[in-house]
Amino acid sequence: MDDKFHNFQMQYDGQTHVLTIRLQEPAGHLNDSAQTPESEQWVEWSYQIPNIPGNGNVAMALDLTATTGELTNLQQFKLTSFTFSPVASVNVKYVNEKGQVIHQADVHYNGAPVIGNTYSTDQLNLPGYTYIGLGKGSIAPSGTLSKEGLRYGHLRLRPHRKDHR
């Protein structure tokens, strides 16, 4: 535009999946009769990123690039602030006494699956099995996400035993 840095903002809302980009354009750059030669104007673009089938609450990465097309202008960014929320998620499996997975459970998050937010799971009644407790090293069925990365919960089950009377 004019070889100077201009304010640039980018925000992604993990709940609505809306990416918003704002650029403050220099005075006189836009052919807008409402813009005076001394003023700068914010230009905003928003895009709702579609759900990717099978992606669920998996963390995603964002890459920032710029181009001038055929021109050879230098593209530069000067970041003055950056906020990052580490992802923390839970994986809950129902396993039998031999450690074999019987069922994968759903996990509910209060907001995005990031450190500080809460999670909960639903206790399932699986036909033919009796719940006997949490597996060794398992996390609680509900709580606050406190560590970055994936945490596991194993709910131990045993097959119903028939009474022989």
The residue among 84, 105, 129 that closes a domain is 84
CA distance 94 to 67: 50
pTM: 0.52
pLDDT at position 2: 66
Say if residue 163's pLDDT is above 70: no
Taking all residues of the chain, what is their mean pLDDT, rounded to a whole number?
Answer: 77
Coil, strand, or helix at residue 27?
coil
Amino acid at 135: G
Write the pLDDT tens digit of every residue in 78-100: 777 777 677 788 888 888 888 88
Of 35-39, 48-52, 130-134, 146-150, the poorest mean pLDDT is in 35-39
Does residue 96 sit in the same domain as residue 144? yes
Q: Are strands 149-159 and 142-144 parallel, antiparallel or unpaired?
A: unpaired
What is the domain extent for residue 128? 88-159
Q: Are residues 64 and 125 in the same domain?
A: no
**Domain identity same for 23 and 45:** yes
Query: Where is average pLDDT lowest: 1-15, 47-61, 76-90, 125-139?
Result: 47-61
- The domain spanning residue 140 has which CATH number? 3.10.20
Query: Is residue 73 located within the same domain as residue 111?
Result: no
Whether the predicted pLDDT of 39 surpasses 80: no
Pairing between strand 8-13 and 142-144? unpaired
Q: Which of 84, 109, 141 is the last residue of a domain?
A: 84
Whether 165 is covered by a domain: the verdict is: no
Tokens of 14: 């993990």
Tell me, yes or no, whether 139 lies in a domain. Answer: yes
71/126 same-domain check = no
What mean pLDDT comes out for the span 65-90? 74
Same domain, 70 and 112: no
The one-letter amino acid code at 110 reads N
C-alpha–C-alpha distance, residues 27 and 24, integer Å: 9
* 164 belongs to a structural domain: no
Q: Which of 55, 84, 113 is the last residue of a domain?
A: 84
The closest alpha carbon to 91, from 137, 158, 157, belongs to 137
Q: Could you tell me if residue 80 is inside a domain? A: yes
For position 70, what pLDDT does the model report? 76
* pLDDT at position 15: 66
Instruction: Please tell me whether residues 15 and 59 are part of one structural domain.
Output: yes
Looking at the structure, do residues 100 and 76 belong to the same domain, yes or no?
no
**Residue 46 reports pLDDT greater than 90:** yes
Domain count, the chain: 2
Query: Tens of pLDDT along 13-35?
Result: 766 778 899 888 876 655 555 55
